[in-house]
Amino acid sequence: MIHLGTLARGEGGERHMSMPLRPGDLARLGRYDIVGRLGEGGMGSVFLGRGPDGRPVAIKTVRPEYVADTEFRARFRSEVNRAQQVPPFSTAEVIDADPDHEPPYLVVEYVDGPSLAAEVRDRGRLTGSALHSVAVGVATALTAIHGAGVIHRDLKPGNVLFARGGIKVIDFGIARAFEATSQHTRTDQMVGTVAYMAPERFDPVDGRPVTPAADIFAWGAVVVYAATGRTPFAAESAAATAMRILTQAPDLTGVPDSLVDVVERALAKDPVERPTARELLDLLLASSAPGGGSSPVVPAAASVAVPAADAVSGSVHYSDAAVPVRSKRRSWIALSAALGVLIATGVGAAVRFLPVQSAGDDAGAQPTAPASAPSAPAAGPEPVTPEERLAAILRGNRQTLIHVSEIDRDLALESSSTEVVVGDGTGQRSLFALESLGVDYLIRSMYDPAEDRCVGVKIIPDVGSQLVPAECTATKATLFELVRSEQTDDQGRPTYWIYNDSYGYVQWSDDDKSLFVDEVGDNPPASSFSFVDRGPLPS
């Protein structure tokens, strides 16, 4: 997902959204100028770059801890060579790479469009032809990827993008270079996202390698997420999700009849029982897209998105004037859905000719300065407008995601957790409610309302101040002020700095991959937060 930040212009005047470069970031890699930052992941940083011809590109660099590993470099070189053989059918083209550079980097097609994860989270589940086009588009991509002898290994909604020309699957193949090097072979460092990982990846038999069938399982989980807003084996923790994947049948409630059978086959426990990517595509092309559903992937501004499972849709869009990029994205997403038929008849036909690959202790606090929040409207019917939803959240009448806008992730707190973490915004662990106490707020976890757990600050020796679970009692460690940042997130929602009068601002550390609380001096906080409506409080 492209974060709202620096607005960079290409030589042709086109606009590309990115975050500013940080001190120490390179200004150039090989033949490519570095324009801004697009994101950060477990494997490294992603930058917006510009090639010699002015073409915008995404440049992925490798984290320093991998660079000294000679086995990693060999794997990286091999996987890049394979990825460059993947034809650009519903995939982001691999343009260039230099495994021997310091740091090693990969250059891929820049896709200026939202991810499936962001659209479902912010606007609701997909229906009708929109859902079918996503299923076909991802299956088309897997057919191309597997045909070139590549396995994606990390297919998930965040790696499915809506582009001007249709669905684009990104980040394929390269995960293998990070999965089994001489320094990184522990099970808990296995590359992938648990909710989309096939059972054989948790329980390998006799050291058998991962096969393309693992991607087919991930396809099934992605389609279930697109159709329902949840994953087919959703549980309260990653370990519980893995156990369900290994032992239980998928929950396909909400998946349309036209897709249930093929999704069920894709989610078979035994990889041998799953269809190949080509068979999957044939099955989808043999069935027509169901009628009566939304034709654009994302409804027009005047429409109401279908709520994701167990939550009211968080489609908070303020105005195209506030975030001009949104109107362009909506048109691209609508075009993606309209091109579903073209994918099926044109690109789908071309893919058929691809080669087949076998295979706290702190005490009370005084009130702080007033929060810069909009005045709350009088209580009344279900909030409809974005402003009404935000006001209801700030009054404490709604459940909410607390979205870290700079990294496109959401705060999460589970029952057994010892600290507040970030996650993908799914499940009860990501739900919170604000409790207004004069000018400050308690941030209450809705994972289990009976547990009475709130977010607090605690000083950890040799670490610093961190966000931790705490009793929902007003103390200097649990009271937070919401300070309007005067910025918006990538969906046009107002963002806030979360401030504790005793400890400082809540921020995200890219270096430590964790949340911390600290003063910032004369500088603005590094992290801002927005609130995504997730429905009324449980009765």
Instruction: Write the DSSP symbol of residue 154.
Output: -
87 or 323, which is more confident = 87
Integer Cα distance of 402 and 334 in angstroms: 28
CB 277 within 8 A of CB 146: yes
**Scanning the structure block, which residue is given the tokens 């897709």?**
259
**Active-site annotation holds for 154:** yes
φ, ψ (nearest 5 deg) of residue 169: -95, 135
365-396 pLDDT tens trace: 333 333 333 333 344 568 888 888 999 999 89
Give the angle 128-133-134 at the CA atoms, nearest 5°.
Answer: 105
Is residue 167 within 8 A of residue 134, CB to CB? The reply is yes
> Number of C-alpha atoms within 13 angstroms, CB side, residue 38?
22
Three-state DSSP class for residue 341 = helix
Would you tell me how many other CB atoms lie within 10 Å of the CB of residue 85?
15
| Domains of the chain, CATH where assigned | 115-351 (1.10.510.10), 386-536 (2.80.10.50)
Catalytic residue among 122, 154, 408, 440: 154
Annotate 28-95 with DSSP letters as a single string. Answer: EETTEEEEEEEEE-SS-EEEEEE-TTS-EEEEEE--HHHHT-HHHHHHHHHHHHHHTTS--SSB--EE
- pLDDT tier at 182 (50, 70, 90 boundaries)? very low
For the chain, what is the mean pLDDT? 76
Q: Which of 132-146, 272-286, 362-376, 522-536 has the lowest mean pLDDT?
A: 362-376
Question: What DSSP letter does each residue of 271-335 carry, written as one string?
Answer: GGGSPPHHHHHHHHHHSPPPSSS-SSSS--TTS-PPPPTTS--------TTTSTHHHHHHHHHHH
Confidence of residue 327 (pLDDT cuts 50, 70, 90): very low
The Cα–Cα gap between 465 and 499 comes to: 13
Which tens digits make up the pLDDT trace of 190-229? 456 889 999 998 866 655 678 999 999 999 999 999 999 9
Contact 347, 456 (CB under 8 A): no
Phi (first) and psi of residue 154, to 5 degrees: -140, 45
Helix (H, G, I), strand (E, B) or coil at 360: coil
456-505 pLDDT, tens digit each: 999 887 778 899 999 998 888 999 999 888 889 888 899 999 999 888 89
SS3 475: coil
Burial of 366 (0-12, 13-18, 19+ CB in 10 A): exposed
The per-residue pLDDT for 399 is 94
Neighbours of 176 (CB within 10 A): 22
Q: How far apart are CA 504 and CA 502, in angstroms?
A: 6
The residues pairing with 447 across neighbouring beta strands, listed in sequence order, are none
Rounded to an integer, the average pLDDT of 400-423 is: 90
- The average pLDDT across 427-449 equals 89
CA 316 to chain centre: 17
Rounded CA-CA distance 125/85 in Å is 33
Predicted local confidence at residue 102, as pLDDT = 87
Give the sheet arrangement for strand 45-50, strand by strand. 28-29, 32-40, 45-50, 56-61, 105-109, 94-98
Q: Identify the residue with better confidence: 314 or 397.
A: 397
| Tens of pLDDT, residues 8-39 | 334 333 444 567 888 888 899 999 999 998 87
Rounded to two decimals, what is the model's pTM? 0.58
Q: What pLDDT score does 425 carry?
A: 87
Q: What is the pLDDT of residue 192?
A: 60
**Confidence category of residue 134, pLDDT binned at 50, 70, 90:** very high
Task: Give the span between the Cα atoms of 34 and 521, in whole angstroms.
Answer: 29
- Give mean pLDDT, residues 230-253: 91
165 φ, ψ (degrees, to nearest 5):
-95, 5
pLDDT number for residue 174: 65
Q: Which of the pair, 440 or 182, is modelled with greater confidence?
A: 440
Question: Can you name the residues that pair with 368 across neighbouring β-strands?
Answer: none
Q: Between the CA of residue 442 and those of 139, 228, 476, what are the distances in Å?
A: 45, 31, 11
Give the model's pLDDT for residue 168: 93
